Each structure stands twice: as C-alpha cells, then as structure tokens.
Amino acid sequence: MAFIAEGTPIVLDVRLEGLHDGILVSAEVSTVASGECVRCLDEVSLPIEVEFQELFAYSPTEELEFSVHDNHVDCEPLIRDAVVLELPFQPLCNEDCWGLDPETGEKLSEPRSATSSDIDPRWAALEALASDTTTTADKPAAKKRT
C-alpha cells in the first residue's frame, strides 16, 4: 500500500470562480507517494497527479456538502480524498518487475524459468488434467444435429 510520507510537498494549482450560488474550486494536485513494490519489496516513489472540482455554496444547502466560511474555502478534505483515492493498492517498482526468487529471496531480473522440480508432486495429476483440457479445446466442436 502506498502512502504520502510526512513532509512530502503537495503542489496545488487552484482556480476559484465566483458563481451566483457559490465558489467553484478547480484544482490540480501533484505529489509523490511512497510505498513498497508488492512483488520485490523495493521502496518506490510514485508520482500522483489528480484533479478535482467542487462548488462551495455561499449559504449551506442540503445538496452541497461544502460551503464558504468567513470568506474562506477549506480544500484540505478534498485534497486528501482526491489523493487517497489515487494511491495505488499494489504499487510496483516497474510494470515488468519479476519479484523475488522464492528459493533465494533475491530480486529477479528476468522471469524465473520453471523447471519440473518446481512442481509439487501432489499437483502433478492436476497438471496432466490441465494439458488434457488444452488438447480437447483445440479439437473442432462436435457437429450440431439439425
């Protein structure tokens, strides 16, 4: 799980527009999330860029969750929600990360070559079934009766 480390700068590009019923806030938020690659556990920094738009009502109404207080709009909850929703659940150091070797624990730089010894003998019967399925699927379907 990725997170925003304490002290990480958050860059905001905010536009405020006065409308007849409130202030429309449009913002672009950029920051950097930290986390661990779910495959190799390396530390990763992930750029986060997210936009949001919210109307702050001059007078509180039932439809609008946010309103202007003392001529101020409080964007903090919006920024937090926008960024949190953008955080990846399964951060990767690289889309092609091969993860760790289950035997040595070393980070793999290429796909692990599957050798027959990797297959648990208890699953060998299933493997035979799996190959059967493939062969059957390749055969042309039985003719339909008309």
Give residue 21's identity as a one-letter amino acid code. Answer: D
Q: Is 2 in the site for Zn ion (CB under 5 A)?
A: no
| C-beta of 24 vs 107, nearer to Zn ion | 107
Within 24-43, the residues that bind Zn ion by CB under 5 A are 37, 39-40, 42
Q: Answer yes or no whether residue 57 interacts with Zn ion by CB under 5 A.
A: no
Residues in the chain: 146
CA distances from 8 to 48, 80, 92, 136 (A): 12, 13, 20, 56
Sole binder of Zn ion in the list 29, 33, 79, 93 (CB under 5 A): 93
Is residue 48 a contact point for Zn ion (CB under 5 A)? no
Which residues contact Zn ion (rule: CB under 5 A)? Answer: 37, 39-40, 42, 93, 97
